Amino acid sequence: MEHVILITGGSRGIGAATARLAAERGYSVCVNYKANQAAAEEVANQCRHFQVNAIAVQADVAMEDDVVRLFRTVDHELGKLTALVNNAGILERQARVEDMDAGRIARVLAVNVTGSMLCCREAVRRMSTRHGGSGGAIVNVSSVAARVGSPNEYVDYAAAKGAVDTLTLGLSKEVADEGIRVNAVRPGFIDTDIHASGGEPGRVERLKPLIPMKRGGRPEEVAAAILWLLSDEASYATGAFIDLAGGR
């Protein structure tokens, strides 16, 4: 069977590493991005080096119309979707809960939770045997934040990732006998740009003494777990979580 994967937020960091590894494994790849077209096109180009189809598609996963258009583009340009990675995620500047306003909380929930749920919806409509599909696999990119809560940094983001964990559990059971597996990875401190959006580009370096392995993780180390969960080797894994956090 032809494998077609959609990776939200695939223009950099963990999403880009996942796109490249998926291409290496023979998937046709859709690299979704929100703003950075040049970076997304470059990742799609890197994927094509592995002789697979690859496209870069702009869509804000928090916007329902964008999500619908994104999945339709995959249908038309790559064919039947077999794998979804809900990777797009944001956080905002480090702050305490007492200093967060409703606008910030809504933005964080919209991308991390609503975006993941909308993409799951579109994937299930295509993959479920209930709708005439041939099955597939979904991996949600959660975070260790879901179980530690990220006090003094971003409890809003941690709570959003807690919701992603619950989405993973509930949906995995809902579609388990419809040919779809739904799992999650929970990265710890991984070297990407996301820490700069929290106002601290050097966050991993500062916090690495707290990690049992005493180092941050690489996006490729998360991508490897995502690709395993999507693969037939993980055929009996659903509702499962892999923590990639150096022992934290």
- Name the site residues for ligand NAP (rule: CB under 6 A): 8-15, 32-36, 39, 60-62, 87-90, 111, 141, 143, 187, 189-190, 192-194
Of the listed 33, 154, 157, 236, which one is catalytic?
157
Query: Quick check: is 154 catalytic?
Result: no
Question: Tokens representing 228?
Answer: 């395993």
* Closer by beta carbon to ligand NAP, 77 or else 92: 92
DSSP-derived 3-state class of residue 68: helix
Report which residue type is found at 227. L
For residue 122, give the DSSP letter.
H
CB 113 within 8 A of CB 86: no
> How far is 246 from 25, CA to CA, in rounded Å?
25
Closest CA to 190 of 5, 30, 12, 8: 12
Please state the closest distance from residue 177 (CB atom) to ligand NAP, in A.
Answer: 28
Question: Tokens representing 141?
Answer: 């990119």
Please state the closest distance from residue 55 (CB atom) to ligand NAP, in A.
Answer: 15
Helix segments in 110-202, DSSP class H: 115-127, 145-148, 155-174, 194-197
Please state the closest distance from residue 236 (CB atom) to ligand NAP, in A.
Answer: 25
* Closer by beta carbon to ligand NAP, 52 or else 190: 190
Please state the closest distance from residue 185 (CB atom) to ligand NAP, in A.
Answer: 8
CB 43 within 8 A of CB 18: no
**Token match 């690299």: residue?**
31
**Token match 């119309």: residue?**
65
- Catalytic residue numbers read 157
